[in-house]
Amino acid sequence: MYNDNPTLENLGKTMDEAKQGEVFFKESKRPGEKHFYIESYGCQMNFSDSEIVASILGEAGFQATRNMEIADLILINTCSIREKAEDTVRKRLRVFDTVKQDRPGTLVGVLGCMAERLKSKFLEEERLVDLVVGPDAYRDLPNLVAGAEEGEKGVNVFLSREETYADISPLRLNSNGVTAFISIMRGCDNMCSFCVVPFTRGRERSRNAFSIIAEATDLYEKGFREVTLLGQNVDSYKWENPENGELVSFAKLLEMTALVSPDLRIRFSTSHPKDITDEVLYTMAKYENICKYIHLPVQSGNTRVLDLMNRTYTREWYEDKVRRIYEIMPDCAISSDIIAGFCTETEEEHQETLSMIEFANYSMSYMFFYSERPGTLAARKYEDDIPLEVKKRRLQEIIRLQTQISYKHNQNDIGKTFKVLIEGESKKSDQDWKGRNSQNKMMVFPKKGEHKPGDYVYVKALEGTSATLIGEMVEA
């Protein structure tokens, strides 16, 4: 889910392959044409935002290119979540500098969380950056670009209480034509002490439910078969219909999206354990097309550390939530985010994180060691006192255990048949399809009969690694 690598390899589409609403990338340019090139890092939300940026720039007359060498405008949508993410961005800026030196006049813009965090300091630190634009200011991009073309430096890091880009139809940048993200809310009001997001993405606000359903319907009509509803904390989605004052909760929104078509799969991310309700779980259970998969970050398995993290739940409370999920949906897969070596974490407390992985039987996890972020609650209140080697060793222990649990989780699926949505050819062989089952597990299986991406097929799992299930197509 988190990307520290450039996204270029999956950008390619020819004019014929590109569906309406997707970007067609230009490789060469004619005189007078203006092109933008964009790279995205970080969470799915950032990737989704890049599609909004592409739409706004498209309206302003820019065309997308995968070829940095012909771009008039090079953009990088950045992540601040850990120091490493920021280091990667700075490295890419060095590369953009060389392009800029070869082609004076090329504009370089920094978007997203790092832009928000560093604001105009960026222009001092990185002299070759022309634009710094925060996550709520993308509508201002054409204006800022016009100014930058005249030699002005453009900065807009205004954080809004209202902006949801509800009316903007995203240009699908990395599309496989089958799965797409829909942003349903922005910002975050939880104050997890380790996290920079409330500072970079501002206050939480929910998008108009009808515009979400319209986007899902439009995607379905264009041939897409899976949408992922995105937000920093989707379970606190709440939108009031101004016409009748009716409140749309996340459970209600899920149901409305599920009703777009039984053939449209619904996923969502991310859930905060404190906010996911029974109503959400029952809605998931009720609709076959709502995928039986919940990303439910635990962060730590120890109550004292959870308290320092300001997660607002205890280990026992989280365990109850996990039990409830398996009770209502025995076939549901749960995944997690885990932080190793948070401030003052003891060896025993670390052991409790390990035992939580076993208890929750996560199908997979995103695992990190703690990286102090300037300005966060933890940076202000607690000493980052766990030595780097200890953090790394604990992280390795977490990864090792999760890999074993993921392997067992997959072994447990062998012999079972799953409904799989074909996403495309497998990376390794054009003789194989790849697609996910409801539990979000990637399945790879030999092609058979007449099928294409976007079709549902039934696949029996025959073998599994910790990451993938290998199978064969069977009759339903």
Contact call for residues 427 and 434 (beta carbons, < 8 A) = yes
195 or 306: CB nearest ligand 5AD: 195
41 or 368: CB nearest ligand 5AD: 368
Residue 295 binds ligand 5AD (CB under 6 A): no
Residue 297 interface partner, choices ligand 5AD, ligand SF4, none, CB cut-off 5-8 Å depending on type: ligand 5AD
Residue 21 interface partner, choices ligand 5AD, ligand SF4, none, CB cut-off 5-8 Å depending on type: none
| Dihedral sign, Cα of residue 350, residue 351, residue 352, residue 358 | positive
- Residue 226, token pair as written in the block: 């899976």
- Judged by CB under 6 A, the residue of 3, 160, 176, 371 near ligand 5AD is 371
The residues in 314-353 that bind ligand 5AD, with binding defined as CB under 6 A, are 337, 339
Residue 44's closest CA among 88, 89, 90, 3?
A: 3
Residue 46 interface partner, choices ligand 5AD, ligand SF4, none, CB cut-off 5-8 Å depending on type: ligand SF4
CA 171 from centre of chain = 16
Residue 14's closest CA among 2, 27, 24, 1?
A: 24
Residue 81 binds ligand 5AD (CB under 6 A): yes
- Pairing status of strand 154-156 against strand 131-133: parallel
Residue 373 binds ligand 5AD (CB under 6 A): yes
- Judged by CB under 6 A, the residue of 41, 250, 313, 368 near ligand 5AD is 368
Beta carbon of residue 299, minimum distance to ligand 5AD (angstroms, whole number): 5
Residue 453 binds ligand 5AD (CB under 6 A): no
> CB-based burial of residue 425 (10 Å sphere; 0-12 exposed, 13-18 middle, 19+ buried)?
middle
375 or 446: CB nearest ligand 5AD: 375
Residue 268 interface partner, choices ligand SF4, ligand 5AD, none, CB cut-off 5-8 Å depending on type: none
Cα 391 from Cα 388, distance rounded (Å): 5
Contacts of 472 (CB under 8 A, 6+ apart): 445, 446, 448, 459, 460, 462
> CB-based burial of residue 286 (10 Å sphere; 0-12 exposed, 13-18 middle, 19+ buried)?
exposed
> CB-based burial of residue 259 (10 Å sphere; 0-12 exposed, 13-18 middle, 19+ buried)?
middle
Residue 182 binds ligand 5AD (CB under 6 A): no
Beta carbon of residue 337, minimum distance to ligand 5AD (angstroms, whole number): 3
Within a 10 A sphere around the Cβ of 319, how many other Cβ atoms? 16
Region binding ligand 5AD by CB under 6 A among candidate stretches 272-280, 314-322, 366-374, 418-426? 366-374
Residue 190 binds ligand 5AD (CB under 6 A): no
Cα–Cα separations (whole angstroms), residue 304 to 211, 315, 336, 350, 353: 41, 9, 19, 11, 12
Residues engaged in binding ligand SF4 (CB under 6 A): 42-43, 45-46, 79-81, 112-113, 196-197, 200-201
- Judged by CB under 6 A, the residue of 55, 299, 363, 426 near ligand 5AD is 299
Residue 44's closest CA among 9, 73, 19, 79?
A: 79
Beta carbon of residue 54, minimum distance to ligand SF4 (angstroms, whole number): 17
Q: Which residue is nearest to ligand SF4 (CB)?
A: 42
Residue 79 interface partner, choices ligand SF4, ligand 5AD, none, CB cut-off 5-8 Å depending on type: ligand SF4
> Which residues on adjacent β-strands are paired with residue 65?
26
Residue 297 binds ligand 5AD (CB under 6 A): yes
Cα 307 from Cα 192, distance rounded (Å): 10
11 or 195: CB nearest ligand 5AD: 195
Site residues (vs ligand 5AD, CB under 6 A):
81-82, 194-195, 297, 299, 337, 339, 368, 370-371, 373
